[in-house]
Amino acid sequence: MEGMLYYDLHKGLKFNSDLKAAQENFEKIVKEHPESPYAGMATKELQGMPRPWAPPAGVARRPQAPPPAAEAEPAAAKSAKPPAKPAPEEEGLSIVQDLRHWSNPDYTRVVVYADRETDFSHRLLRADPSIDKPPRLYVDLAHSTIGEGVQKSIPINDDLLSDARAARNTLDSVRVVLDIKSFETYKVFSLKDPFRIVIDVWGANGAAPPPTPGRGGAAGEALVDKTRKMPRGALAKQLALGVRRVVIDPGHGGKDFGAPGFIPGVHEKDIVLQIARRLARKLQEDVGLEVLMTRNDDRYLTLEERTAFANTHRADLFISIHTNASRDPRAYGTETYFLNLATDDESIRVAAMENATSTKNISDLHSILNDLLKNAKINESSRLAAFVQSGMVTHLAANGYPRIKDKGVKQAPFYVLLGARMPSVLVETAFISNRDECRLLTTPAFQEQVANSIVRGIRSYIQDISPTALGAPPPGSAG
């Protein structure tokens, strides 16, 4: 019954964490009570699950086609490809389904999409003039094959990389090779649900991450230590950091509806797009900033594509707009997040919901986040979050919404912020699962005030780091 309850929650709320919990309950019954009549019922539910699952011993898996390749496409990409299928003798191997990239002269992101999780390793090979080989970075995927119809080589030809190519390395492994023209540093990490490997490469002029142990030597470590000791915001002020271009990211979209509203037919993806459009207009007209949006219609984007969009367009700020949700319909309020390790169970829950993954996967980000914590942008993101949260609460309270609850500034490992090279925050504007706040979120008046309040926070942040950056606000402007 517990498994069925989680399964029903997934059908209603579409949280993968609920689906995972249901699967774990069913598998436990099959494994620990195989003679029970409930084992057959659990097996039947497992076989009907809407996504791939690894069957425990004794459970036959119902044949089904592999899941479709990730649907997000760059602006210039063609229509989605059909699902990649393995050859009959390759059943059980992870299938590499697609290679994609995003780039500017100083930064390139390559993503390898696979249909299931698998072990991988990576290595940098220096140039070998004797065989006319440039520097290469390769990633080996164990227990893997390449799906039929996958483009095995993608030309990149930016200032950093020539191309990326995938090939069978052994009978049960795949190697993805990046041919390097020039680079300063790189980072490789994986994301889940669906499984993909993200390769970020930075050039000498890019906003590369700080030296990590083994790279950069003692001088680099000393620089990191000095940066940590600076007062908050000191680095930004010393560098006369300016804000000219802002990327706004309306969460979810397309097949990803986000959280369902308390009111039937209301979905997060539609509400946040309306708020984001209002915010973009106000930042352009009232603050004079250049504003780009990751999406301006109902389209699906992967989380890593959103961050890559901000990086490749060299944004100065990245603002991701969302609505919150809870199983408790009484939960309400607004909160603002920046990228960091989560410090409480509620932050882990929110991150898992927005990542569309299991709470168990959050811990997998620990090592890369430890590297990111050395980056001054983390401190700047926390400052930006504080100004945005303050703007949200004070402005809404002063404009006819006194019941707005201040849930504060929090930190959590959001995939959509991972790898962003500028101050970045994720704003949970209100609880779409709450009756009163869902009703407010559907009204143009409240959406307008939410946009005004975020503008107020951004304006305060800009003035704090560069007091002369903005003149007096235009009459009637937000903030």
Q: What confidence tens digit (pLDDT) does each residue in 256-266 have?
A: 999 999 999 99
> In the prediction, which pLDDT does 357 show?
65
Q: Rounded to two decimals, what is the model's pTM?
A: 0.68
Map the chain to HEC letters. Answer: CHHHHHHHHHHHHCCHHHHHHHHHHHHHHHHHCCCCHHHHHHHHHHHCCCCCCCCCCCCCCCCCCCCCCCCCCCCCCCCCCCCCCCCHHHCCCEEEEEEEEEEECCEEEEEEEECCCCCEEEEEECCEHHHCECCEEEEEEECEEECCCCCCEEECCCCCEEEEEEEEEECCEEEEEEEECCCCEEEEEEECCCCEEEEEEECCCCCCCCCCCCCCHHHHHHHHHHHHHCCCCHHHHHCCCCCCEEEEEECCECCECCCECCCCCCEHHHHHHHHHHHHHHHHHHHHCCEEEECCCCCCCCCHHHHHHHHHHCCCCEEEEEEEECCCCCCCCCEEEEEECCCCCHHHHHHHHHHHCCCHHHHHHHHHHHHHHCCCHHHHHHHHHHHHHHHHHHHHHHHCCCCCCCEEEEEEECCHHHCCCCCCEEEEEEEECCCHHHHHHHCCHHHHHHHHHHHHHHHHHHHHHHCCCCCCCCCCCCCC
Number of domains in the chain: 3
Domain boundary among 155, 182, 202: 202
- Region label for 128, one of left (φ > 0), alpha (ψ between -120 and 50) or beta (otherwise): beta
Q: Are residues 198 and 242 in the same domain?
A: no
The answer to whether 410 and 349 have CB atoms below 8 angstroms apart is no
Instruction: Tell me if 302 is assigned to some domain.
Output: yes
Determine the Cα–Cα distance for residues 21 and 45; give it in Å rounded to an integer.
13
> In the prediction, which pLDDT does 86 show?
54
| Mean of per-residue pLDDT scores for the chain | 80
Of 77 and 125, which is predicted with more confidence?
125
Q: Are residues 29 and 92 in the same domain?
A: no
pLDDT band at 91 (very low <50, low <70, confident <90, very high): low
Q: Kindly report which listed range (22-31, 240-249, 438-447, 468-477) carries the lowest average pLDDT score.
A: 468-477
Q: Are residues 394 and 460 in the same domain?
A: yes
Determine the Cα–Cα distance for residues 304 and 473; give it in Å rounded to an integer.
35
Instruction: Tell me if 473 is assigned to some domain.
Output: no
Task: Give the residue numbers spanning the domain of 318.
Answer: 232-465
Q: What confidence tens digit (pLDDT) does each residue in 145-204 have?
A: 999 888 899 999 988 999 999 999 999 999 999 999 988 888 888 888 788 999 999 887
Q: Read off the pLDDT of each residue in 415-425 and give the average, rounded to a whole number.
A: 87
Q: Are residues 120 and 12 in the same domain?
A: no
> In the prediction, which pLDDT does 414 show?
84
Residue 89 neighbours by CB under 8 Å, 6+ apart: none
**Tokens in use for 179?**
């041919």
Question: Which residue in 187, 67, 107 sits closest to 139, CA to CA?
Answer: 187
CATH at residue 324:
3.40.630.40
Total residues found in the chain within this entry: 479
> In the prediction, which pLDDT does 24 show?
83
> In the prediction, which pLDDT does 79 show?
37
> In the prediction, which pLDDT does 142 show?
94
Instruction: Tell me if 346 is assigned to some domain.
Output: yes
Residue 398 CB burial class (10 angstroms; 0-12, 13-18, ≥19): exposed
| Radius of gyration, CA atoms only, the chain | 23
Of 101 and 231, which is predicted with more confidence?
101
Q: Are residues 296 and 434 in the same domain?
A: yes
Determine the Cα–Cα distance for residues 453 and 179; give it in Å rounded to an integer.
46
Instruction: Tell me if 22 is assigned to some domain.
Output: yes
Q: Are residues 256 and 305 in the same domain?
A: yes
Q: In what order do the strands lie in the sheet containing 144-146?
A: 144-146, 94-104, 107-114, 196-202, 185-191
Q: What confidence tens digit (pLDDT) does each residue in 48-87 have?
A: 776 544 444 444 443 333 333 333 334 333 334 555 655 5
Instruction: Tell me if 34 is assigned to some domain.
Output: yes
Q: Are residues 457 and 349 in the same domain?
A: yes
pLDDT band at 12 (very low <50, low <70, confident <90, very high): low
In this predicted structure, the answer to whether residue 453 has a pLDDT above a threshold of 70 is: yes
In this predicted structure, the answer to whether residue 472 has a pLDDT above a threshold of 50 is: no
Instruction: Tell me if 184 is assigned to some domain.
Output: yes
Instruction: Tell me if 220 is assigned to some domain.
Output: no
**Tokens in use for 189?**
């990490």
Q: Read off the pLDDT of each residue in 362-390 and give the average, rounded to a whole number.
A: 72
| Cross-strand bridge partners of residue 198 | 111, 189
Instruction: Tell me if 345 is assigned to some domain.
Output: yes
**Tokens in use for 241?**
């950091």
Determine the Cα–Cα distance for residues 259 and 441; give it in Å rounded to an integer.
13
**Tokens in use for 303?**
């989380």
Q: Are residues 264 and 411 in the same domain?
A: yes
Q: Are residues 274 and 376 in the same domain?
A: yes
Q: Are residues 350 and 455 in the same domain?
A: yes
Q: Are residues 243 and 363 in the same domain?
A: yes
Chain mean position to CA 270: 19
pLDDT band at 284 (very low <50, low <70, confident <90, very high): very high
> In the prediction, which pLDDT does 404 show?
87
CATH at residue 109:
2.60.40.3500
Q: Are residues 237 and 198 in the same domain?
A: no
Question: Which residue in 322, 359, 357, 358 sits closest to 337, CA to CA?
Answer: 322
The b-or-e profile of 117-156 (16+ CB within 10 A means b, else e) is ebebebeeeeeeeeeeebebbbbbbeebbbbeebeeeeeb
pLDDT band at 447 (very low <50, low <70, confident <90, very high): very high
